[in-house]
Chains A and B, each alone.
Chain A
Amino acid sequence: MLDVTNPRTLGRSICIITGASRGFGRALAHEVSRWLQPGSVLLLVARSETLLQELKGELWSFIVDQQSAVHCVAADLSTREGLDETVRVARQEAVTEMDRVLLINNAASLGNLSNFATFTGIDEVNSYLSFNVSSALVLTAGILQAFPRVPLQQRSVVNVSSTFALRPLPSWVLYCTAKAAREMMFRVLAEEQPHVKVLSYSPGPMDTDMQRDILRLTGVKNHLLPCQESAEKLVKLLLDDDFVSGTHLDFFELKKLTSRDDTTM
């Protein structure tokens, strides 16, 4: 049961994070683990078994001191086998009643940054949409089916989004299209499932491999946030639980809101 003397906690929960081996996903694993109560399960999904195990090693105090479990699922989420395996492990690991089920759809790829007119090959586009759109829907559906509504349990689904889900960027047709698709997908989910809290979170440009690729491919150097800072903001949003399900929130918006709070309080 939720510790009512300290409401700022994610409770005893199962939290599934995709793309957990690096970058934002990895930072989220660390941040989320700080807020989980004993008896929780952290399910980390990515393709690299090695990197996942390394991350698990970094979470030893969570495992030992918090008597919680970390499971690494090395899976390719663009395959049905990878998705099925993830759901299977999730189902198997949450045998005791959890306060919360939290799914963070973070895994994504940049795709080929190229002129619109170069995308004449349907296999490339299909493959990109499969990993970046289909797999998020299929995984979310699988997890919601594995954890049907239970009284007093909160189910939350996060879509790691982007400002480019909302506005177009030249040469970024694959990425923008997939992020816009996911945005709508999760809005429909929010409409359909009043008992699932859905959030599309735009984390801002962070110090990740994806941003290094962007710099290399486009020469555009953004001012980069540490992943941890953005991860903290996302977890704060989840703890505050003050958003309308289906909404899109941006790291930079939240930053502005917090400064405003500081001056009025």
Chain B
Amino acid sequence: MSSPARTDLGRALCIITGASRGFGRTVAREMSRLLKPGSALVLTARSVDELRALQAELAESEAGRAGLLVECVVADLSEADGLESIVKASKVAFSEDMDHVLLVNNAASLGDVSRYAKSFTDMAEVDSYLSVNVSSSLCLTASVLQAFPQRPGQLRTVVNISSLCALQPFRSWVLYCTGKAARDMMFRVLAEEEPDVRVLNYAPGPLDTAMQTVARSRTADPDVRKSFSDMFAQGQLLTCEASCSKLMKLLLEDGYTTGAHIDVYDV
């Protein structure tokens, strides 16, 4: 039943959130190498400088010079007008001969890991966290699916950058675990509802990023903090590139069960 793995992701419109740093930036770079000429990358984040630098880098790359369009949208995903501006830019970047629309929901925040669940008595803090980490990925995905409805010969793929924390509770990480568990379920519902959309919950593993630095320095729980600093000290953190190549492999092979949670170590 399995056809040979593709070597590219088609002539695609690819939208990546949280693209300015860390894993998102690596996804943008790796993705650009796998898109056919005539594709478009729509990169979004809040930080204009880093986004522009990435845009310039990609424009100068082999893919860029071969005709990959790279658009930047500086936006706050938890703001209605932020979401609108991403969809608008995506519609402009889209062309009728594209055969793939791919959304990578990568943007996320850790939340305050220096505190335990019983300290979260501020409604505004919890609401804000859920808005950025849960609501915004639902609304962006819904908006993209509406803007680019199912068409014959066109594939739609939605990736959720998940975590082990979606499956397993970690002390002093209530917001992050809650948000990731919520997102996994959200995208499982999408997978059930829309059999024509390929949905992947990808857990990239412990990455050597700014988020990880915060995790090992600020985590309140001593055991959880120690496990992160041990991983760092023992060189067990993954590079974004190593994890991203697993994600790309999954996307190229396109053999995963839609809605599945797949961890980097499963690949």
Contact of B169 among A79, A115, A190 (CB under 8 A): A190
Dominant secondary structure of chain B at its interface with chain A: helix
> CA separation between A32 and B122, bound complex, in Å?
29
Indicate whether A117 sits within 8 Å of B118 (C-beta atoms), given known contacts A184-B169, A185-B178, A188-B173.
no
Contact with B along A120-158 (1 / 0, CB 8 A): 111101100110011101101110110000000000000
For window 179-206 of B, CB contacts with A under 8 Å fall at: 179-186, 188-194
Q: Which residue of B lies closest to A117 (CB)?
A: B145
Q: How many residues of A contact B (CB 8 A)?
A: 52
**Would you call A138 and B126 a contact (CB within 8 A)?**
yes
Q: Please give, as numbers and ranges, the residues of chain B lying within 8 Å of A83 by CB-CB distance.
A: 123
> CA separation between A230 and B188, bound complex, in Å?
28
Residue B106 is within 8 A (CB to CB) of chain A in the complex: no
**Would you call A185 and B117 a contact (CB within 8 A)?**
yes
**Would you call B138 and A177 a contact (CB within 8 A)?**
yes
Q: Please give, as numbers and ranges, the residues of chain A lying within 8 Å of B136 by CB-CB distance.
A: 122
> CA separation between A126 and B126, bound complex, in Å?
11
**Would you call A118 and B185 a contact (CB within 8 A)?**
no
> CA separation between A176 and B118, bound complex, in Å?
24
> CA separation between A14 and B215, bound complex, in Å?
37
**Would you call A133 and B130 a contact (CB within 8 A)?**
yes
For window 101-125 of B, CB contacts with A under 8 Å fall at: 116-124
Q: Please give, as numbers and ranges, the residues of chain A lying within 8 Å of B193 by CB-CB distance.
A: 115-116, 170-171, 173
Residue B171 is within 8 A (CB to CB) of chain A in the complex: yes
Q: Please give, as numbers and ranges, the residues of chain A lying within 8 Å of B123 by CB-CB distance.
A: 79-80, 83, 130, 134-135, 138
> CA separation between A180 and B124, bound complex, in Å?
21
User: Which positions in A face B, CB cutoff 8 Å?
Assistant: 79-80, 83, 115-123, 125-126, 129-130, 133-135, 137-138, 140-142, 144-145, 165, 167-173, 176-185, 187-193, 246
17 A-B interface contacts by CB (under 8 A): A80-B122, A116-B194, A117-B145, A119-B138, A120-B143, A120-B146, A121-B80, A126-B135, A138-B120, A142-B121, A168-B192, A169-B192, A173-B186, A181-B181, A185-B174, A188-B174, A189-B117
